[in-house]
Amino acid sequence: MSTEFPSKNGIVRQWHVLDAEDVVLGKLASKAAMLLMGKHKAIFTPFLDTGDHVVVVNAAKVRLTGRKDDNKVYRHFTGYPGGLVETSARRVRATRPARMVEEAIQGMLPKTKLGKQMYRKLKVYAGDKHPHAAQKPTAMAIKNALK
């Protein structure tokens, strides 16, 4: 008996909408990463991209626990000497709120070409509107233990 692998044509990709309003960032990121990798499907294969598309709305209203708004630092290196730019989470939320969610989800995906391919199926929006209504995405609830 041989193992059957899903073919490119046999993978059915769905669209999911995750509402980030008042949800802890880590719980949101782990749920989105699981959907992007396809771990929720019976046909999951570690070396194939079997995941779905994920749309995250209300990224500006995601919740950070503890004092992370002040203590968490996002770093970016420009490539020049002395070019390390450090920004607090509070400032990132004010300027580019989608970046917080994108970086958290990207950190939970594989660090390979396959991970980059999975990351391309992620769409993050700061507000509650998104232009993907034509794909008929299904809303998914995230269980929030801290409520």
Q: What is the pLDDT of residues 13-28, one digit of tens each?
A: 999 999 999 999 999 9
Q: What is the pLDDT of residues 79-121, one digit of tens each?
A: 999 999 999 999 999 999 999 999 999 999 999 999 999 999 9
Element (H, E) at 54: strand 53-57
Residue 96: Cβ-neighbour burial (10 angstroms; 0-12, 13-18, 19+): middle
Residue-range domains of the chain with CATH: 15-65+94-140 (3.90.1180.10)
The whole-number pLDDT of residue 88 equals 96
The answer to pTM > 0.85 is yes
Q: What is the pLDDT of residues 43-70, one digit of tens each?
A: 999 999 999 999 999 999 999 999 999 9
